Chain A
């Protein structure tokens, strides 16, 4: 495995699921006539792997896809050719040889926008600051493994840093969250707020990955 794409997933493309996205890339490589390595076995198919599956509906400017470029195509021409073959909203920003293992991808810098059209932004900020300042905050989360179908996770140890800003009718949380083993879905911060202060549940919440970082907080590629 030698190559990586850095791509954005925005707008209408946010609703493409992880599996569908892999299929979309496999076809896009074929459309762009960029030969890539295939899996072996009975039904060989173009191999692609996307690190850190993104929840449906989330935006991202920093998704990573691994694949193997076969001879005949220069990495520098890959983004433009693929972009011409991809659906609206998916934009390849870079193509480069993989240097570091994915397991060194430690943090994701998220932007979460909570809508409060009714002017509850200051209250919500206050409540969230209080929650995030605690030593430990347990949040109920759906689980495939647990017999009850639910499990509890402590979100605090998985949050590296956070800060707030405001927009008209919305509260913006910028948070650097653990990426894997185990990662934290920023949706759980919303869930914590809703559990503690149901009357401060945002009208709508949208999430976007802004950057991926290594263990030292430096940009990961």
Chain B
């Protein structure tokens, strides 16, 4: 171990985050690999290690002969300061080697508030921030993850973006890179070849051309680059044969999701109009329940975890959920292994399922009605009926649960004050359901209402929408707070508006925001997802310095024919479908879920045979 590192580790909080050496970490011999891959998660170890996508790709890449993938996380402030002071560059956790010498630096981008950490990590590694300042092929800086559906704000920093699911395309571009390196290609030659791989967006080959009003005239394909008109995202077609990390790293220190994560299916049948994941993960692909039960048991055996969680965008929509739960509980119950099921929809939550989960351990209950009235829920296509939610709560309260968390968004398109007051009404009805059904009134009940400020996202039916202004958001928060102030059993929390505004700026941002990002980073921005570090002033100053207006991105409604910065990114859900969904919102018309009736979004074209939900 590096003596400088040893010295530093005694002076920082939770040093086990920075050492590697965990059970299941892959250590290869430097002499026996020719390609080193730094998998960078731009947040802390505790957050990054909880990410299933990272574990999948770590396994996929390390499954390749001659390639060694190591993990890199963003150090907390105390560690970063010590590393800079001692001149210790960012290193891979497995080998301790500085990542500047690696072949490929890959970032996982799950949320906009991590962007400043991408720059900070490149800087800590001693790697030039901008692609143009890295003329050599090595190190190649790539990025994947859901943020890449609008890659533009990071475009100048990243050599290539991977769109969609990475299981298959990652080995493809690594192999191409090896060929390029071994045959001495230039970076340009490599990127041209890479742009021909489906799912790879090379930002240097697309040039934004702006109109005077700041909107885009076009995203011009660079002449002679051979880059495609649109880049289609990648998916894993056969989910039963895709890699699942049964054997994975077990951290020696606590992380956020410290348990076995079992991914039931990809995609979502629901079609909530605000939900980017719901559109971009299409089409729905299920995993076989027998296979899942096998994976779950094997993962418990290999990890020693005493907890398992079923993961997906909407777990109760998994067609074989009861069968799977029974199978898993037969294994878990005698071993005291807890089974938890997040992402439940209130409508399908049955007595049956609840009793099954209760056999082992009783977790909290969380529902996300998103909107307070039926009219608005219909408008956003959250096909949840009030009566179903209340029935689910009654079931839960009768079964002894005495706490419910309810999540809502404020500022959804078409929302009125009646809709806001509707949230309070709904919370009160949940309270009365408790009074009516609880076997033990003396214990009391905790009902928590949380609201966030709606952020319109790219590739959704609401991609043309304006985010409501901050003043308006605050007015609606105050209105709801006023409504709820006499209800002692109901706690109201609202999300900090500052980060939601910045998220709204970047989630539909164009390439000009790259300068803003770099300016903010140079003035200290990092760890923006953490309130300890986030400072809105840094960002408004940066916008001003770059001559840009954040409200242009956040609060402006776009016309139908606007050219979006993400127009070269194709999720295979057609813009025509998204526009139709938006119009149905304004008519408060619902669209049935994919299983009831195909709505013709276009994502089925990603599958051979064109049939979803297999």
Binding site for B on A (CB under 8 A): 11-13, 15-17, 20-21, 23-24, 26-31, 33, 38, 43-45, 56-57, 85-89, 204, 206
Contacts and interface: CB of A to CB of B under 8 A. Distances in A.
A20 B303 contact: no
A33 B301 contact: yes
A24 B15 contact: no
A43 B336 CA distance: 8
Interface stretch (B1-9, B274-282, B315-323): B1-9
B439 interface: no
A11 B10 contact: no
28 contacts: A13-B21, A15-B16, A15-B19, A16-B252, A17-B16, A17-B253, A20-B254, A21-B252, A24-B23, A24-B252, A26-B304, A27-B304, A27-B305, A29-B304, A30-B304, A30-B305, A31-B23, A31-B303, A31-B304, A56-B15, A57-B9, A85-B304, A87-B21, A87-B22, A87-B250, A204-B3, A204-B6, A206-B6
B106 interface: no
A143 B441 CA distance: 44
B1 A12 contact: yes
A28 B21 CA distance: 14
A41 B3 CA distance: 45
Contact of B15 (A15, A33, A206): A15
Interface in B142-173: none
B19 A12 contact: yes
B469 interface: no
B132 to A, nearest CB: 38
B16 A11 contact: no
Main secondary structure of the interface of B (DSSP, over half): loop
B336 A38 contact: yes
B588 interface: no
A9 to B, nearest CB: 11
B16 A28 contact: no
Given A20-B253, A45-B306, A57-B15, A87 B23 contact: yes
Contacts of A29: 304
Nearest to B258: A23
Contact of A20 (B1, B252, B301, B361): B252
A206 B438 CA distance: 58
Chain A to chain B: the 8 pairs with minimum beta-carbon distance, closest first: A27-B304, A30-B304, A12-B21, A88-B21, A31-B304, A15-B15, A12-B19, A87-B23
B203 interface: no
B361 to A, nearest CB: 8
A24 B303 CA distance: 10
B92 interface: no
Contacts of A24: 23, 252
Contacts of B23: 24, 27-28, 31, 85-87
Interface of B: 1, 3, 6-7, 9-10, 14-16, 18-23, 25, 27, 250, 252-254, 301-306, 336, 361
Contacts of B21: 11-13, 87-89
Given A85-B23, A204-B6, A27 B16 contact: no
Nearest to B336: A44
Nearest to B9: A15
Given A26-B304, A88-B25, 12 more contacts: A12-B21, A20-B254, A23-B254, A27-B304, A30-B306, A31-B250, A56-B10, A85-B304, A87-B21, A87-B23, A87-B25, A204-B3
A131 to B, nearest CB: 23
Contacts of A17: 14, 16, 253
Contacts of A56: 10, 15
B271 to A, nearest CB: 40
Contacts of A43: 361
A38 B16 CA distance: 27
A107 to B, nearest CB: 25
A27 B335 CA distance: 13
B8 to A, nearest CB: 10
Contacts of A88: 21-22, 25, 27
A16 B304 contact: no
Contacts of A12: 1, 19-21
Nearest to B250: A27
A23 B22 CA distance: 13
B98 to A, nearest CB: 17
Contacts of A26: 304, 306
B399 to A, nearest CB: 17
Nearest to A38: B336
Contacts of A11: 1, 21
Nearest to A43: B361
A15 B79 CA distance: 14
Contacts of A28: 23, 304
A21 B14 CA distance: 13
Contacts of B25: 87-88
Contacts of B305: 27, 30
Residue with the greatest number of chain A CB neighbours at <10 A, chosen from B14, B18, B19, B303: B19
Contacts of A13: 21, 252
Contacts of B252: 13, 16, 20-21, 24, 87
A24 B22 CA distance: 10
B20 A31 contact: no
Residue with the greatest number of chain A CB neighbours at <10 A, chosen from B23, B27, B252, B306: B252
A49 to B, nearest CB: 18
Contacts of A16: 16, 252-253
Nearest to B254: A20
A220 B433 CA distance: 62
Contacts of A206: 6
A208 B479 CA distance: 61
Contacts of B361: 43
A24 B19 CA distance: 15
Given A26-B304, A38-B336, A204 B22 contact: no
Contacts of B254: 20, 23
Contacts of B304: 26-31, 85
A23 B303 CA distance: 12
A27 B303 contact: yes
B402 to A, nearest CB: 16
B302 A31 contact: yes
Contacts of A23: 254
A203 to B, nearest CB: 8
Nearest to A28: B304
Contacts of B9: 15, 57
Contacts of B27: 88
A175 B23 CA distance: 33
Contacts of B302: 31
A43 B362 CA distance: 11
Contacts of A85: 23, 304
Contacts of A57: 9-10, 15
